[in-house]
Chains A and B, each alone.
Chain A
Amino acid sequence: MILRNPQKFMGYLFEVAWILPSVAIPVAVITAVVITAFAVGLRVPDVAGRIEPKAIAVTEPFDEPGLRELAPGKYQAAMIAQVFLFTPNEIEVPAGSEVTFVLTSRDVIHGFKIVGTSVNMMVVPGQISKLTVRFDQPGEYLIVCHEYCGSGHHVMSGKVIVR
């Protein structure tokens, strides 16, 4: 058998020496993912990106959702996603504005996509999603929830009007 041939045996050992780590590494990575997801609790690292979903109504800036002018030409749009609407679901800004969208979800995971722009985010309960975009072209931009959130998912939309 193989053991009678020392050279074959060495080749076999060599193979094992490579196979073992190539099995061990994915197993270790999957274990790491499972442990971080369930035992440690998956969450954003910076506390500034977290929010208590029950306290949305009393946490800035979601206590007064809507558009605010931070500086000339710079706006902050605080929006809350919930089944099956965005609050507010329509904002209006002048052309050339830089708008920072700040979102959180009241219930389940939602999506936030503004068609025709680079804005494409997940809105996760307990977390704050933030993205800044510049609107140079006047027009109406459709906001859609593109993360299936329930039976009314298809009606969950809003718009940005750029004048």
Chain B
Amino acid sequence: MRGLKLVLAPERIPHGALRLNQGAWIIMYGLVALGLGLFALTFWFAVARPVKVLPRIAPLPAFALEDQYGLPINSNDLLGRTVFINFSYTRCGEDCAAQREQLVALREQLRAAGRLGSEVLLLTISFDPERDTREALQTYAAQLGADRRSWRFATGDPVELKALIGGELGFYYGQPDANGTIKHDQRVILVDSNGMIRARYAGERLHVQTFLRDIELVRQELGSSGLMRQVYEASHLFLCYPD
């Protein structure tokens, strides 16, 4: 009890122990102000979201397929470039028209900007390997006016395709019906140069303007360094994703 009294009663405290000089007060209130300032800054960052990033959804699952010339194409070959992958089949008509149109538009825009091939690659994976032979894929590529450096068409073993598209990525496609039509989800994914899936497009967002915006977002983020790099990390932390 005596010890407690000694602490609580100011007159018993040795002279000067609690007497902070003016500088110490300035430092103390300065720290409080700094704390509140940091809080306000964090709050503003999380609400106003001045820096946007694309979420790191998942690493692209490993795969080994063959392209329209019989060349092997696997998930590692895609590293170093931004890749748009869509899942379709060559006989898909009206159902896939919108998706095809957007990808062709993207190709045209990128070609005009000189970024096609070197920076951005398009990959169409067909889930109908039985009908989509090399010749069928080559014909399809020619119809779309795709050149082999920038837009590849791949397919492979049905079991592997099902495990990749349905099992790993969670996109549905069914069995071909009597007309050879396959019911499937319309999906495009964006894979960054580190092999990370950064966006999944469906519905209205499956649009060339969204593609171009996202290419730019990924380029800026992966090209950043120093403080800006940390700011991008903070954006991931606060889930500052674009609409």
Contact = CB atoms under 8 A, between A and B. Distances in A.
Interface stretch (B28-36, B81-89, B97-105, B147-155): B28-36
Contacts of A72: 162, 167
Contact of A74 (B13, B25, B167, B200): B167
Interface string A29-56: 0001001100010000111100000000
A154 interface: no
A47 B241 CA distance: 8
A24 B166 CA distance: 51
A50 to B, nearest CB: 9
Nearest to B205: A47
Contacts of B20: 10
A71 B18 contact: no
A13 B19 CA distance: 11
A163 interface: no
Given A10-B20, A47-B241, A32 B43 contact: yes
Interface stretch (A14-22, A89-97, A117-125, A139-147): A14-22
- Chain A interface bracket (under 10, 10 to 19, 20 to 34, 35 or more): 20 to 34
Nearest to A24: B36
Nearest to A11: B10
Contacts of B171: 70
Interface in B1-24: 10-11, 13, 18-20
Contacts of B239: 45-46
A127 interface: no
B47 interface: yes
B129 interface: no
Interface of A: 5-8, 10-11, 13-14, 17, 20-21, 24-25, 28, 32, 35-36, 40, 45-48, 59-61, 68-72, 74, 76, 100
